[in-house]
Chain A
Amino acid sequence: MDLTPRTSADNAPLAPRKRKTKWGYVAVLVLIVVGGGVIVSRFLTSAIDYYCNVDEIGVREGCEADRRIRVQGTVEEGSLAADSGTTNFIMIYNNKELAVTYAGDPGGIFQECIPVVVHGRLTGKVFEANRIEVKHSNEYVADNAQRIDDAESQACSPIAG
């Protein structure tokens, strides 16, 4: 610990400090926070959004059909087919359909009637995906025989969001 004696300049009496009001700083801080919030929530939405919906391809900014995009939709019931190592299915969102082909088995909990996000590029009318992520909902339902029967008897309904 350095306890070297102070020089004469250091020993000069300190002038009494004026107590500044902190409200100016608070106002600036509030302005920064509000301004930042508006910029992030209003103007950066299309840049921060993780995916486009099926019905937004070629319509929404950032969802152009000629670029690599991420697309969200629900795997349509009865559309899932595996053919010599390739998985084909139809994604649906807001009554718009998109045919998807994926070289491989998505694995995990991928199945029909589940929302997914596919990464890839639109070639003609088929979306060639090289990555598939399952976007599970915020509903947690016990897995028991009755529930499974109920689920199977119900029609596949796309989840919005």
Chain B
Amino acid sequence: MNSTAVRSVGTPSTRLFGLLAIACMTWVVVGGLFFTPADLNQGESVRIMYVHVPTAWVAYLAFIVTGVASAMFMFGKKHSLGFDRVAGASAEVGLMFMAITLISGSLWGRLTWGTFWEWDPRLTTTAFLFVTYLGYMAVRGLGGSPQQRARRSAVVAMLAVLEIPLVHFSVVMWRSLHQRASVLSTDGDIKMDGLMLTTLFVGVIGFTCTFAWLVSHRQRVMAMRDILLATQLDSALNERIAEGSQS
């Protein structure tokens, strides 16, 4: 094999996800900024919803993927590191989306509520979820072998995922400044203008495809890093053996 050859990390599925993401994001940007109507009460600020809501949903999805992949690593017979890499990649990408959720929500809050931040149940539990997954990433970086890393982080991930229902239902369980869910409401009645709802759904698809594209690439890069680590270990062992045979 030619040592200078560059191996692509793209596959037909990642290219499909990438193209779908571009198409959906184009719709969201153009539709969200120019074609969807302003809200009767919130005015133009409602357009932040097309970023805020999909990124929140995708962050939930990312953390659920992390939890499920971690459980598959822990309870699977082979304890495959592939699951651990998917878990880690998904958590990284989920953190990025959660950060976007927090920032866009803060801007939206300033325009509608009149404040960037309040320690109300939804905002507090969301911040707690974000910090928990920062902790998860710190646990992943503690060192040790890939198997040790996978076991430690899987335990944290399986506990952390339990926070998601708490965040989602915080606006139902307690009185919150944050409004209740419009689409995933418990009464099943969607209270949203048709074009707004369509753009929101396209945004969810677009951000989900972006998530899938990023995680696919990221977990492959993590696999390469593990292979590199194993290769370095092999070469270090060979050097040690060579030293031993000379003495």
Binary per-residue interface labels of chain A (56-79) against chain B in the complex, 1 for a CB within 8 Å, 0 otherwise? 000000000000000010000000
CA distance A133 to B43 in the complex (A): 16
A140–B49 touching, CB < 8 Å:
yes
B38–chain A nearest beta-carbon distance, Å: 4
Query: Does any Cβ of B come within 8 Å of A31's Cβ?
Result: no
Which of these, A40, A72, A138, A161, contacts B181 with CB under 8 Å? A138
From B183, which residue of chain A is reached at the shortest CB distance?
A: A138
Query: Does any Cβ of A come within 8 Å of B144's Cβ?
Result: no
Query: Does any Cβ of A come within 8 Å of B12's Cβ?
Result: no
Using C-beta atoms within 8 Å of the partner chain, give the interface range for chain A: 35 or more
CA distance A140 to B190 in the complex (A): 9
Given contacts A106-B114, A133-B115, contact A142 B39 (CB under 8 A): yes
Query: Does any Cβ of A come within 8 Å of B15's Cβ?
Result: no
Q: Which of A9-17, A41-49, A81-89 contacts B (4 or more CB under 8 A)?
A: A41-49
Q: Please name all residues of chain B whose beta carbon is closer than 8 Å to the beta carbon of A148 when the two chains form the complex.
A: 40
Q: Please name all residues of chain B whose beta carbon is closer than 8 Å to the beta carbon of A50 when the two chains form the complex.
A: 118, 120-121, 174-177
CA distance A111 to B112 in the complex (A): 12
From A140, which residue of chain B is reached at the shortest CB distance?
A: B192
Query: Does any Cβ of A come within 8 Å of B151's Cβ?
Result: no
CA distance A45 to B233 in the complex (A): 54
Given contacts A3-B237, A50-B175, contact A136 B41 (CB under 8 A): yes
From B112, which residue of chain A is reached at the shortest CB distance?
A: A136
Q: Please name all residues of chain B whose beta carbon is closer than 8 Å to the beta carbon of A111 when the two chains form the complex.
A: 41
Q: Please name all residues of chain A whose beta carbon is closer than 8 Å to the beta carbon of B7 when the two chains form the complex.
A: none
CA distance A1 to B145 in the complex (A): 12
Could you tell me which residues of chain A, from 83 to 101, have a CB within 8 Å of some CB in chain B?
none
Given contacts A72-B175, A139-B191, A148-B40, contact A133 B233 (CB under 8 A): no
Given contacts A1-B232, A49-B174, A138-B179, contact A143 B112 (CB under 8 A): no
Given contacts A3-B240, A45-B174, A109-B43, contact A140 B115 (CB under 8 A): no
From A150, which residue of chain B is reached at the shortest CB distance?
A: B40
CA distance A138 to B40 in the complex (A): 12
A147–B114 touching, CB < 8 Å:
no
Q: Please name all residues of chain B whose beta carbon is closer than 8 Å to the beta carbon of A122 when the two chains form the complex.
A: none
Q: Please name all residues of chain B whose beta carbon is closer than 8 Å to the beta carbon of A140 when the two chains form the complex.
A: 39, 42, 46, 49, 182, 191-193, 196
CA distance A22 to B192 in the complex (A): 46
A141–B193 touching, CB < 8 Å:
yes
CA distance A33 to B165 in the complex (A): 12
Which 5 A-B residue pairs are closest in the complex by CB-CB distance? Answer: A142-B37, A139-B191, A50-B120, A49-B175, A138-B179
Residues of chain A at the chain B interface (Cβ within 8 Å): 1, 3, 22, 29, 33, 40-41, 45, 48-51, 72, 106-111, 114, 117, 131-144, 147-148, 151, 161
